[in-house]
Each structure stands twice: as C-alpha cells, then as structure tokens.
C-alpha cells in the first residue's frame, strides 16, 4: 500500500468501515510509515476538535443569499 492509497482510506478506517483485509493492509502500512501515522493522528485530532466546537446557526439572511448564489450557479451550468 502506498501513502496515497493509505490516505484515501483513512476516513473509512477511522469509521471502522473498511473490510478486515484492507484494514490489516493499512495497519501494516501504518506500522512502517511514520508520516502516515502522523497524518492519521492529525485526522483524528481534527475530528475531535470539530465535534467539540459545535455548530452555530446560520443567520436567515445568509441562508437566503447562499441559496440564491447556488441557484444562480446551477442555472449557469445548464
């Protein structure tokens, strides 16, 4: 497994949704690859911090402006 392949499946690994075979392959890679272990650690820490922050409600005016913006962009793609 390459580092790119490892990074591509880290989210599924953290969510425990990889097949056992792929999880084993990733774990072998992580055992030998310090940069990927650091990446995994950073990924987990980022998830933890975002859970702690919580969500702020979006102001109604911002919702309306975002909605108009997205509709305009979608219409431009047609």
- Ordered by start, the domain boundaries in the chain are 3-77
**Whole-number Å distance between alpha carbons of 63 and 29:** 44
Task: Specify the pLDDT at position 35.
Answer: 95
Maximum Cα–Cα distance across the chain: 51
Q: What is the pLDDT of residue 54?
A: 74
pTM, to two decimals: 0.64
pLDDT given for residue 78 in this prediction: 54
> Cα–Cα distance between 47 and 52 in angstroms, integer?
9
| Cα gap 21→24, rounded to integer Å | 5
Per-run averaged pLDDT (10 residues), the chain, 78 residues:
94 94 97 96 90 83 94 80
Identify the residue whose tokens are 């409600």: 57
């Amino acid at each position: 497994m390459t580092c790119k392949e490892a990074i591509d499946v880290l989210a599924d690994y953290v969510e425990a949704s990889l097949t056992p075979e792929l999880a084993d392959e990733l774990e072998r890679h992580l055992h030998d690859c310090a940069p990927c272990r650091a990446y995994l650690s950073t990924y987990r820490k980022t998830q933890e911090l975002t859970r702690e922050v919580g969500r702020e409600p979006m102001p109604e005016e911002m919702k309306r402006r975002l909605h108009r913006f997205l509709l305009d962009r979608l219409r431009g793609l047609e």
